[in-house]
Each structure stands twice: as structure tokens, then as C-alpha cells.
């Protein structure tokens, strides 16, 4: 399978660990259902990034599933947490949103869906560790502006719609400072109940 996905490696790394380009995400170890949903979304032009749309357009769904399974089963180490260039206050604001959310503004904690250790949940909730702040900011921005969408109810679009630009910066910066947990694997399906309905992962 490694030879079949060689086309992915210049941007995502040999085992999906990511590369020096901060906008290309780590794929390794993310839940296979999440990766499969993204591959399908790129194939069907729902998620727009022309180099990805182009590569996947004429591949079959079962083959995309195999690719998703392959990268989900790779476990290169998470990168060491990077020192952040934002202020302590911003990091604190990020930590508050990630761990507690902001009920007054209808923002759930990231951890309430992405898991207490932020490692995601099988089959389709992605972990948030090992991603660079630029990537997380760009994705949250895309959700906010509606250029990234998922199946309805589109939970991430609803949540991101409540975030300000400052929130996005704070969350992205805080996530990138998190050290790797002892067990970086996504928790099993049903480990906790999602706080609200999500088209990509029905409760």
C-alpha cells in the first residue's frame, strides 16, 4: 500500500506524519472514518483544494477507504510541542475554549467532541494534536466562511460560526503547544456522547 499512496507523500510525509509545510496536515493515526470522509469530500469537490480534488477525482470509493485505513494505521511519533509566538494571555484564552468552551457564546469545549486528551474518537472525530497553528487557523477560518463544509447537521460549521478571529488564533496556538499524550490513539466509538448532533458521526 505504501507504494500506492506515494503520490500523497511529498505533502503529507512518508507515513503521513506531515512535512515542513505548515499548511499540510498530519494524516497518521487519525480515525479511518474521518480520513475517508475527507477523501470523499475532496473527490466530490465538497472540500475544495484543487491539487487534492485533481488527484482523487477518478478513484473508487473502496480504494479511498483503503487509503484512509492505511494512514489511520500509521503511528509515527507526534512532533514535539513547538514554542508559541503568541502571548500567555492568548494561550490562556485558547486553553479556556479548548477545555471549557464558552457557554454564553454557545461555544462547546473542543474536548467535548475531540476527546479529553484531544486524540479524537472512532470512527470519524479527528484528533487535534500534531497540527500546526497555521493549518488549524486556516481550517477554522474555512468553516467560518463556509468554504469547508460537511454533511448536515454540519456541527463544525455551527461551532466555528460562533468563533471570532481572535478565538481562532488562540485555539490554534494553544493546540500546537500540547505535548503528545501517552496514548495518542483515538478513543473507541461511543466512549462519550457528543454534546450535539453531527452529520459526520451520528451518536
Partner 1 sequence: MRPQWRVAAVLVPGLVLGFAIPSAQAQRDDVVKRGEYLARAGDCIACHTAPEGHIFAGGRAMPTPFGTLYSSNITPDRETGIGKWTADDFYATMHKGRFPDGGLIYPAMPFASYTKVTRDDSDAIFAYLKSIPPVNQKNREHDLRFPYNNRQLILGWRTLFFTEGEYKPDPGKSAEWNRGAYLVEGLGHCGMCHSPINALGGQSQSDAFKGGLIPMQNWYAPSLTSNREGGLGEWSLKDITDLLKTGVSARGVVYGPMAEVVHNSLQYLSDEDTRAMAVYLKGIAEASSRPASSALPRTESSLLISLGKTVYDAKCASCHGAQGEGKPPHWPPLANNQSIEMESAVNPIRMVLNGGYPPGTEGNPRPYGMPPFAGMLSDNEVAAVVSYIRTAWGNRGAPVSAREANELRSAPLN
Chosen residue from 21, 69, 95, 102 binding partner 1 by CB under 8 A? 21
Report whether 127 contacts 119 (CB < 8 A): yes
Nearest-10 Cα torsion for 91, 159, 110, 149: -110
User: Which of these ranges, 7-15, 76-84, 94-102, 125-133, lies near partner 1 under the rule CB under 8 A?
Assistant: 7-15
| 9 in contact with partner 1 (CB under 8 A) | yes
Q: Which is nearer to partner 1, 23 or 87 (CB)?
A: 23
Give min distance, CB of 51 to partner 1, in A.
6
Total residues contacting partner 1 (rule CB under 8 A)?
26
Alpha-carbon span 169 to 125, nearest angstrom: 21
Name which of 44, 49, 39, 45 is nearest 69 in CA terms: 39
Specify the 3-state DSSP secondary structure of 167: helix
DSSP-derived letter for residue 8 is G
Binders in 100-129 for partner 1, by CB under 8 A: none
Other beta carbons less than 10 A from residue 75's beta carbon: 13
Give min distance, CB of 146 to partner 1, in A.
16
Binders in 31-90 for partner 1, by CB under 8 A: 44-46, 50-51, 53-60, 62-63, 66
Name which of 82, 104, 56 is nearest 177 in CA terms: 82
Give min distance, CB of 196 to partner 1, in A.
24
Provide the binding-site residues for partner 1, judged by CB under 8 A. Answer: 3-11, 21, 44-46, 50-51, 53-60, 62-63, 66
Amino acid at each position: 500500500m505504501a507504494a500506492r499512496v506515494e503520490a500523497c507523500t511529498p505533502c503529507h510525509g512518508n507515513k503521513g506524519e506531515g512535512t515542513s509545510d505548515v499548511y499540510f496536515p498530519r494524516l497518521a493515526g487519525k480515525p479511518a472514518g474521518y480520513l475517508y470522509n475527507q477523501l470523499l469530500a475532496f473527490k466530490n469537490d465538497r472540500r475544495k483544494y484543487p491539487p487534492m480534488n485533481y488527484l482523487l477525482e477518478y478513484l473508487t470509493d473502496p480504494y479511498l477507504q483503503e487509503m484512509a485505513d492505511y494512514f489511520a494505521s500509521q503511528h509515527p511519533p507526534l512532533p514535539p510541542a513547538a514554542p508559541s509566538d503568541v502571548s500567555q494571555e492568548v494561550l490562556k484564552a485558547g486553553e479556556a475554549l479548548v477545555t471549557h468552551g464558552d457557554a454564553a457564546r454557545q461555544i462547546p469545549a473542543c474536548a467535548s467532541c475531540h476527546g479529553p486528551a484531544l486524540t479524537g474518537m472512532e470512527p470519524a472525530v479527528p484528533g487535534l494534536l500534531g497540527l500546526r497553528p497555521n493549518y488549524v487557523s486556516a481550517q477554522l477560518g474555512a468553516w467560518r466562511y463556509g468554504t469547508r463544509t460537511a454533511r448536515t447537521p454540519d456541527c463544525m460549521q455551527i461551532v466555528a460560526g460562533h468563533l471570532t478571529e481572535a478565538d481562532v488564533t488562540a485555539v490554534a496556538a494553544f493546540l500546537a503547544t500540547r505535548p503528545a499524550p501517552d496514548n495518542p490513539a483515538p478513543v473507541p466509538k461511543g466512549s462519550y456522547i457528543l454534546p450535539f448532533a453531527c452529520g459526520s458521526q451520528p451518536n
